[in-house]
A and B are shown apart, each in its own frame.
Chain A
Amino acid sequence: MRPRGFLVRGALVLGLVFLYVPIVSMIVFSFNNSRLVTVWDAAHSPTLKWYGTLLNNQQILSAAWLSIRIALIAASGAVVLGTLAGIALVRFGAWRGRTLLAGMTTAPIVMPEVITGLSLLLLFVALQQLIGWPRGVGAVTITLAHITFCMAFVTVVVQSRLAGFDESLEEAAMDLGARPLRVFFRITLPLILPAIASGWLLAFTLSWDDLVTTQFVAGPGSSTLPMVIFSKVRFGVTPDVNALATIMVLIVASGIALSSVWMRLRQRRRERDLQLAASTEEVSAI
């Protein structure tokens, strides 16, 4: 479009290459026979042997299972709290305490994780002394910590969706005599459902992926998948981690592909409905 469009587009391509080279290299080397991760053993590759090693590694499997359970609970808890916070921030006008809530939901997004982790652990230690709960650290404290930092992200997602449509629909329902809870479940919730869904996915990913905060609030016997990976790769590369990365990329990529197909179908249906509505309007105008 402009003379420098060429340059800018080149920068975009280079940037995308930069983003994908490490991922592609992990995928390629996951099929490498050599134990030396970065030396391609052409005679015996490609091979699936690291996938076999991975699937027989009981430590990784049980850590993955723990991570999944924590992420499921943490994402669901974060969605409930984040949705409440989002509604309170957007729909309640200027109430006392709004600034406090707004501050406490944006700060965790940028807070360095070592600080979040340290402060949460010290809280759990203090609580244990004071009221005897939680008993030691482990899956419960990890889940509480994850809910806390995930809800901040959900709040932002829900908040921007709520701010995107005005209150007239809710007002109309109220004027027609609907009770507040009914308005929420029939009007507000369906409207913000896409935001809640993407907030849940985001929270699940953040929880599933978290290492630093988790390390602070985890105890013996509650090693999540990132903790196991970190202790493995801290002292060098191990080929079965490449296989694990490949599986994870595959899952994410197919999930995104499926969701974009679904969105496109929905979009097409909506366009058809709109056309239909427009044509009936024309008919009734005649």
Chain B
Amino acid sequence: MARLTLTSGRRLVAGIPILWLLVLFLIPFLIVFRISFSEVRLAIPPYTPLIVWHHGRASLELHTSAYAFLFTDPLYISSYLYSLKVAAVSTLCCLLIGYPMAYAIARAGAASRQVLLMLVVLPFWTSFLLRVYAWIGLLNNNGVINNVLLYLGIIRHPLVLLQTDFAVYIGIVYSYLPFMILPLYANLEKHDPALLEAAADLGARPWRAFLAITLPQSFAGIVAGSLLVFIPAVGEYVIPTLLGRTDQLMIGRVLSDEFFENRDWPVASAVAIVILLLLVIPIMLFQRIQRRELEATP
């Protein structure tokens, strides 16, 4: 193996990003973890210290009241379950819409493939917030969709579309669809068409060949795309706030409200820690796939 730089030089190259991420990514989590074990109090900062000096002796004070609160108030549990459900349904919808799209792009000619990929990515480059906002105008009671349906005589009264589960699904699927399509495309593009031809020569119907060959081969792409949608969707804040129900909040909104409205830092931190616990397996899975993907590239 060639020595690209001197060891001390290499240490510097690797050390700078590691130091940055230790301070601004890893340590912040430890702080959240630590504050989740304190109690709220009226002071600056608004939580109890971890180590208390008492008659010259330091004692460790761990409070679990924030966690106890999470598991006794049904609001939190229902928000967690609702968030998981919304993320799961949205991920499934993304997969069902995104798979055929990725498949069609991967099978298109080389020239149109580039154009199609650009069309999929282009919305991503325009503001996420504005694209979610656009759906308010479409889903409103006097919005575009209702007006079109009324005009066509399909409905007589406007449908209530905004502030429903449906609106949140639409918003998440719409915003995250490129994240599903891109890893699927990257996977499907690598498939060898000779396998499908062989299956056809042996008399397999296209659907059968697809189920027996393409689908299992694209499993890694399915998992990568699903994780890219599912994990951030669980903590989604903007979409449910703009489009979603007001009687059932998602957990990202609950966290933000605890922090900004109730000013309860310990409970907000405990909410964050429990979200992380729910997501730790998907996140680790994502890291493994990502690592394999980046190291498999020739």
Considering the complex, which residues of chain A in the window 102-157 have a beta carbon less than 8 Å from any beta carbon of chain B? 102-115, 118-120, 122-123, 125-126, 129, 144-145, 147-148, 151, 155-156
Interface assignment of B95: CB less than 8 Å from any CB of chain A? no
A209 partner, pick from B13, B14, B104, B128, beta carbons under 8 A = B128
Q: Is the CB of B20 within 8 A of A106?
A: no
Q: Is the interface of A mostly helix, strand, loop or mixed?
A: helix
Q: Which residues of A contact B130 (CB under 8 A)?
A: 26, 229, 241, 244-245, 248
Q: CB-CB < 8 A to B32: which residues of A?
A: 115, 118-119, 122
Q: Which B-chain residue is minimally distant from A82 (CB atoms)? A: B17
Q: Which of B54-62, B69-77, B131-139, B215-223 is the contact stretch?
A: B131-139
B252 is an interface residue with CB less than 8 A from chain A? yes
Q: Is the CB of B105 within 8 A of A12?
A: yes
Given A25-B144, A88-B17, also A37-B137 (CB < 8 A): yes
Report chain A residues within 8 Å CB of B116.
Answer: 12, 16
Residues of B within 8 A of A163 (CB): 294-295, 297-298
Of the candidates A211, A226, A236, A245, which one forms a contact with B136 in the assembled complex, judged by CB atoms under 8 Å apart? A236
Contact status B140-A110, CB under 8 Å: no
Considering the complex, give the chain A residue whose CB is closest to the CB of B272.
A115
Decide yes or no whether A221 CB sits under 8 A from chain B.
Answer: no
Task: Spot the interface stretch: A1-9, A54-62, A272-280.
Answer: A1-9
Query: Please, what's the 1-or-0 string for A20-31, where 1 marks a CB less than 8 Å from any CB in chain B?
Result: 111101100100
Q: Tally inter-chain residue pairs, CB-CB below 8 A.
A: 279
- Are A19 and B177 neighbours in the complex by a CB distance under 8 Å? yes
Q: Which residues of B contact A208 (CB under 8 A)?
A: 127
Confirm or deny: B2 has a beta carbon within 8 angstroms of a beta carbon on chain A.
Answer: yes
C-alpha gap A119/B276 in the complex (Å): 12
Check if A19 sits within 8 Å of B174, measured CB to CB.
yes
Say yes or no: is A207 at the interface (Cβ < 8 Å to chain B). Answer: no
Q: Is B31 an interface residue (CB 8 A)?
A: yes
Beta-carbon contact of B45 and A129 below 8 Å: yes
- A-chain residues with CB within 8 Å of residue B22 when the two chains form the complex: 104
Contact partner of B140 among A38, A87, A106, A229, CB < 8 A?
A38
The answer to whether the Cβ of B18 comes within 8 Å of any Cβ in the partner chain is yes
Please state if A237 and B101 are interface contacts (CB–CB under 8 Å).
no
Known: A18-B174, A101-B18, A180-B6. A233 touches B290 (CB 8 A): no
Tell me if B39 counts as interface (CB < 8 A to partner A). no
Q: Are A112 and B134 in contact (CB under 8 A)?
A: no
- Say which size band chain B's interface belongs to: 35 or more
State whether B45 touches A252 (Cβ < 8 A): no
Is B149 an interface residue, CB under 8 A from the partner?
no
Docked-complex contact B129 and A211, CB < 8 angstroms: yes
The yes or no answer to B153 lying at the interface (CB within 8 A) is: no
B107 touches A5 (CB 8 A): yes
**Can you list, as one digit per residue, whether each of A181-197 has a CB less than 8 Å from chain B (1) or not (0)?**
10110000000000000
Residues of B within 8 A of A144 (CB): 24
Return the contact of B287 from the options A25, A106, A118 (Cβ within 8 A). A106
**When the two chains form their complex, are residues A226 and B129 in contact, meaning their CB atoms are under 8 A apart?**
yes
Cβ contacts under 8 Å, A181 to chain B: 5, 9
Return the contact of B134 from the options A22, A82, A108, A156 (Cβ within 8 A): A22
Chain A residues near B23 (CB-CB < 8 A)? 123
A265 on the B face (CB < 8 A): no
Inter-chain contacts of B269 with A (CB < 8 A): 118, 122
Distance (whole angstroms) from the CB of A178 to the closest CB of chain B: 11
Could you say which residues of chain A place their CB within 8 Å of the CB of B255? Answer: 114-115, 118
Let me know if B133 and A233 touch, CB within 8 A. yes
**Contact of B235 with A12 in the complex, beta carbons under 8 Å:** no
Q: Is A260 an interface residue (CB 8 A)?
A: yes
**Any chain B CB within 8 A of the CB of A234?**
yes
Residues of B within 8 A of A112 (CB): 231-232, 234-236, 252, 275, 279
Whether B40 is near chain A, meaning CB under 8 Å from some CB there, is: no
Number of interface residues of A (CB under 8 A): 105
Decide if B67 is an interface residue (CB 8 Å cutoff). Answer: no
Contact with B along A21-53 (1 / 0, CB 8 A): 111011001000000111100000000000000
B228 within 8 A of A: yes
Q: How far is the CA of A39 from the CA of B18 in the complex (A)?
A: 54
Complex CA gap A73/B24 in Å reads 17
Instruction: Please give, as numbers and ranges, the residues of chain B lying within 8 Å of A63 by CB-CB distance.
Output: none
Is A84's beta carbon under 8 Å from chain B? yes
Of A19, A100, A151, A237, the residue contacting B20 (CB under 8 A) is A151
Interface contact A252-B126, CB-CB below 8 Å? yes
Distance of B79 from chain A, by nearest CB (Å): 12
Establish whether residues B20 and A125, one from each chain, have CB atoms under 8 Å apart when the complex forms. Answer: no
> A residues within 8 A CB of B242?
233-234
CB atoms of A12 and B294 under 8 A apart: no
Check: A159 CB closer than 8 A to any chain B CB: yes
Interface positions of B (Cβ within 8 A of A): 1-6, 9-10, 13-14, 16-18, 20-29, 31-32, 35, 45, 97-98, 100-101, 103-105, 107, 116, 118-120, 122-123, 125-131, 133-138, 140, 142-144, 147, 174, 177, 206-207, 210, 227-228, 231-232, 234-238, 241-242, 252, 255-256, 259, 265, 268-269, 272, 275-276, 279, 282-283, 286-287, 290-291, 294-295, 297-298
A–B complex contacts, Cβ < 8 Å, 17 sampled: A8-B100, A8-B103, A8-B107, A16-B101, A18-B177, A22-B134, A104-B25, A111-B232, A115-B32, A148-B25, A151-B17, A156-B290, A163-B295, A180-B9, A211-B128, A212-B252, A256-B122
